[in-house]
């Protein structure tokens, strides 16, 4: 047994006391930690603030960061480094900026790419007192993804658990880094491995599970038609095998207890394929986040998402999901160069017409790893403006309370105008009469009231805390979220099924 202890930390500036979704990476890396290091100590700051005093000299602290929580991650890195611990950073942001994690986060080592298989080597080197500067995890094959350790999840604190079925996305949207970091070749996980985790979660009382996939529909009918035109049939066979594996997984999921509720992320193209949507419904997939992004053809072209539909055809396509029993959380982006004042109203109207159940309206932000970011960074010719002495192209390093909320310059509107109009669309979509109207998607009065509560919670968590610029409003919002979170949490809790068996 090794003497060093392993700590895994998910940083966050805001702690709600309860969280919506389990940070999957924490439980996967815990599973990847060899037994001789004992059970890792997990800290998720979306629940509670991390206290470094539990870390001793010689311990290993793994910190997973994305751009939004990188600065808080660096604070933690420095605090635990000062206590003599080995600091290892991983996650998408550390993969993109390993040097930053070293200089600002006091990282002894950085794990790039997927940590599933390389984590034990990093721990062994710390044990020997000589960690390497970089561990390249690369892109692990889907058949080798590690199932998470759900025995470590604290009871009663998360509404949804998260399980992954596929990594990678064949598209290339300009605002998204997934296809560049996870790759464009989908990596399907083995169905038995996915169902095994879900069964374990059901035994523990999780009924609501997010399939944390990059794109649940990785092969479109158009992809198949294009491949069929190639003289060499190899690509067509590969795509057919990928598609068959999706159906095989869904056939397994269909054998789960009937009250299981799964939610995934998918491109709108899936609605072209009724067989696929019906299989999703049978597989207990009751909802999906669909990246609508823009309701105009110009807007879609601007983000390299021409495969989406616009206008009335878009509303029809989104309705197909609902008509076949899969609710849609539509995701829209504001602040595209083609947006004008009228775009906000038009988007709100399409969102209502399309019969989507939930919606989120985000502002175009240049995140590292994306095409948009590269273009934006180049536009300053090496001399970006400074905010608090920090180049705007490193916006995540500006202290959270003073960080500007919108960075992409717009040709026709000020940042404030885009922000105010975006807030207006949130207000309209989540006005009580609108929510009540949408709550008809469930039958009983109790379920409709629950729907209202969940809608309000969603709005508090993602609109107010994300868009508000002053800290007083943000704190009020966090208090509201905490208050709403408690009753909502009870709605999501399921009855534990300790005797549930794997479907045959
Ligand atoms: S936004 Fe969605 S569809 Fe586009 S590249 Fe990213 S994951 Fe794929």
Kindly state the tokens that stand for 263.
């939610």
- Whether 171 is in the pocket of ligand 1, judged by its Cβ within 6 Å, is yes
Please give the distance, rounded to the nearest whole angstrom, from the Cα atom of residue 7 to the centre of ligand 1: 32
Which letter, b or e, does each residue of 265-286 get, where b requires 16 or more Cβ atoms within 10 Å of its Cβ?
bbbbbbbbbeebbebbbebbbb
- Whether 371 is in the pocket of ligand 1, judged by its Cβ within 6 Å, is no
The Cα 409–Cα 335 span in angstroms is 8
Torsion from C-alpha of 115, 117, 122, 128, nearest 10 degrees? 160
**pLDDT tens across the length of the chain (504 residues):** 777 899 999 999 988 888 889 999 999 999 999 999 999 999 999 999 999 999 999 999 999 999 999 999 999 999 999 999 999 999 999 999 999 999 999 999 999 999 999 999 999 999 999 999 999 999 999 999 999 999 999 998 999 999 999 999 999 999 999 999 999 999 999 999 999 999 999 999 999 999 999 999 999 999 999 999 999 999 999 999 999 999 999 999 999 999 999 999 999 999 999 999 999 999 999 999 999 999 988 988 888 888 888 778 899 999 999 999 999 999 999 999 999 999 999 999 999 999 999 999 999 989 999 999 999 999 999 999 998 899 999 999 998 877 776 667 889 999 889 999 999 999 999 999 999 999 998 888 988 998 998 898 888 877 654 444 444 445 555 555 666 566 667 778 788 999 999 987
**Helix spans in 303-444 (H):** 311-323, 341-353, 371-378, 415-429, 432-438
The Cα 375–Cα 288 span in angstroms is 31
- Whether 169 is in the pocket of ligand 1, judged by its Cβ within 6 Å, is yes
Q: Look at residues 46, 51, 70 and name the one whose alpha carbon lies nearest to residue 7.
A: 51
Q: For ligand 1, what atom is nearest to the CA of residue 177? A: 6
Reported residue count of the chain is 504
- Whether 289 is in the pocket of ligand 1, judged by its Cβ within 6 Å, is no
CB 367 within 8 A of CB 373: yes
Give the global pTM: 0.91
End-to-end C-alpha distance for the chain, whole angstroms:
38
The Cα 105–Cα 71 span in angstroms is 8
Residue nearest to atom 6 of ligand 1 (CA): 176
The Cα 395–Cα 62 span in angstroms is 24
Burial (CB count within 10 angstroms: exposed 0-12, middle 13-18, buried 19+), residue 342: exposed
Please give the distance, rounded to the nearest whole angstrom, from the Cα atom of residue 181 to the centre of ligand 1: 11
- Whether 214 is in the pocket of ligand 1, judged by its Cβ within 6 Å, is yes
- Pocket of ligand 1, candidates 165, 171, 293: which has the most ligand atoms within 8 Å of its Cβ, to mutate? 171
Residue nearest to atom 3 of ligand 1 (CA): 171
- Pocket of ligand 1, candidates 164, 172, 173, 223: which has the most ligand atoms within 8 Å of its Cβ, to mutate? 173
Q: For ligand 1, what atom is nearest to the CA of residue 305? A: 4
Which letter, b or e, does each residue of 452-464 get, where b requires 16 or more Cβ atoms within 10 Å of its Cβ?
ebbbbbbbbbbbb
Residue nearest to atom 7 of ligand 1 (CA): 214
- Pocket of ligand 1, candidates 169, 184, 187: which has the most ligand atoms within 8 Å of its Cβ, to mutate? 169
Q: Look at residues 142, 148, 176 and name the one whose alpha carbon lies nearest to residue 161.
A: 148
């Amino acid at each position: 047994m090794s003497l060093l202890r392993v700590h895994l930390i998910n940083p966050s500036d805001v702690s709600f006391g309860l969280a919506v979704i389990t940070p999957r990476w924490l439980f996967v890396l815990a599973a990847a930690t060899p037994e001789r290091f004992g059970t890792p100590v997990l800290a998720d700051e979306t629940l509670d603030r991390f206290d470094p005093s539990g870390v001793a000299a010689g311990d290993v602290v793994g910190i997973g960061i994305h751009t939004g929580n990188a600065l808080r991650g660096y604070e933690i890195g420095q605090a635990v480094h000062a206590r003599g611990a080995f600091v290892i950073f991983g996650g998408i942001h550390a993969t993109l900026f390993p040097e930053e994690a070293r200089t600002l986060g006091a990282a002894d080592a950085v794990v790039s790419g997927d940590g599933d298989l390389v984590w034990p080597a990093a721990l062994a080197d710390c044990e020997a007192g000589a960690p390497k500067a970089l561990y390249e995890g690369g892109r692990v094959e889907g058949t080798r993804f590690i199932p998470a350790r759900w025995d470590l999840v604290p009871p009663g604190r998360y509404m949804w658990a998260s399980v992954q079925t596929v990594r990678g996305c064949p598209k290339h949207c300009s605002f998204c880094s997934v296809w560049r970091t996870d790759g464009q070749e989908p990596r399907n996980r083995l169905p038995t491995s996915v169902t095994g985790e879900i069964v374990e979660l059901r035994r523990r009382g999780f009924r609501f599970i997010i399939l944390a996939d990059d794109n649940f529909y990785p092969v479109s009918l158009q992809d198949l038609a294009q491949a069929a035109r190639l003289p060499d049939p190899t690509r067509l066979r590969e795509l057919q095998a990928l598609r068959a594996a999706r159906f095989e997984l869904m056939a397994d999921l269909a054998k789960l207890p009937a009250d299981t509720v799964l939610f995934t992320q998918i491109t709108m193209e899936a609605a072209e394929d009724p067989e696929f949507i019906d299989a999703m419904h049978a597989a207990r997939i009751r909802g999906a986040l669909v990246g609508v992004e823009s309701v105009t053809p110009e807007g879609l072209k601007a983000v390299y998402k021409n495969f989406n539909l616009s206008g009335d055809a878009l509303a029809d396509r989104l309705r197909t999901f609902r008509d076949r029993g899969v609710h849609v959380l539509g995701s829209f982006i504001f602040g595209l160069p083609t947006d004008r004042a009228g775009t906000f109203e038009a988007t709100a109207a399409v969102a209502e017409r399309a019969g989507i159940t939930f919606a989120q309206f985000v502002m175009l932000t240049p995140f590292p790893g994306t095409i948009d970011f590269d273009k934006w960074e180049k536009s300053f010719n090496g001399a970006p403006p400074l905010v608090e002495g920090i180049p705007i192209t490193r916006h995540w390093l500006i202290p959270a309370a003073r960080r500007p909320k919108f960075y992409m310059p717009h040709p026709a509107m000020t940042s404030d105008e885009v922000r105010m109009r975006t807030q207006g669309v949130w207000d309209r979509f989540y006005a009580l009469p609108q929510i009540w109207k949408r709550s008809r998607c469930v039958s009983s009065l109790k379920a409709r009231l629950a729907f209202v509560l969940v809608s309000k919670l969603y709005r508090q968590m993602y609109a107010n805390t994300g868009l508000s610029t002053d800290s007083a409003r943000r704190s009020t919002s966090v208090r509201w979220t905490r208050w709403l979170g408690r009753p909502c949490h009870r709605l999501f809790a399921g009855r534990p099924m300790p005797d549930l068996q794997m479907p045959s």
